Amino acid sequence: MPLISSTGARSGLDLQGIIDATLEAERVPKKNRLDQQEGRLTVELSAVGEMRSALSKLQESAEKLTDGSLFSAMKASVTQPDSGDVVSVESSEDASAGDFELFVQQLAKGSRAVSADGAFVSADDQVNTNAGSLTFGAGDESFTLNIEAGSTLEDIRKAVNSSEDNFGVTADIINTGTEAKLVFRSSVTGAGNDLTVTNDNAEFDAISTQANGGGAGGMAIAADDQATDAIIEIDGIRATNDTNTFTDVIQGSTITALKESEGTEKAQLSIARDDAGVQKSIDSFVKAYNSTVDLLSEIGGEDSMMQGDATVRTLKGQLNNVLTSTFGEGQTLFDLGFGLDNDGRLQQENPVTNVKDVLAENPSALQNVIGGENGLAARMETLLDGYAGAGGSLQLRRDSINESLDRVEESRESLALRMESLRETLNSKYQALDSLVGQLQNRGNAVSAQLANLPGFTRDND
Task: Give per-residue pLDDT as tens, 374-418.
Answer: 889 999 999 998 988 888 888 888 898 899 989 988 888 888 898
- Smallest CA-to-CA distance from 122 within 154, 90, 92, 148 is with 154
How distant is the alpha carbon of residue 159 from its chain centre?
42
pTM of the entire predicted model: 0.67
Inter-residue contact 311 to 77 (CB < 8 Å): no
Q: What's the pLDDT score for residue 82?
A: 95
Any idea which of 86-90, 197-201, 255-259, 445-449 has the lowest mean pLDDT? Answer: 445-449
Q: What is the mean pLDDT of the chain?
A: 89
d(CA 290, CA 277): 20
Tens-digit pLDDT profile for residues 102-129 = 999 999 999 999 999 999 999 999 999 9
Q: What's the pLDDT score for residue 174?
A: 97
Q: Which carries the bigger pLDDT value, residue 49 or residue 144? A: 144
Tens-digit pLDDT profile for residues 308-367 = 888 889 999 999 999 888 987 788 999 999 999 998 899 999 999 999 999 988 888 888
Q: List Cβ neighbours of 226 (8 Å cut-off, separation of 6 or more).
A: 111, 191, 194
Between helix 15-65 and helix 393-453 the angle, nearest 10°, is 170
Q: Give, as one character, the DSSP assignment of residue 369.
A: I
CB neighbour class for 26 (10 Å; exposed up to 12, middle 13-18, buried from 19): middle
Q: Is the pLDDT of residue 252 over 70?
A: yes
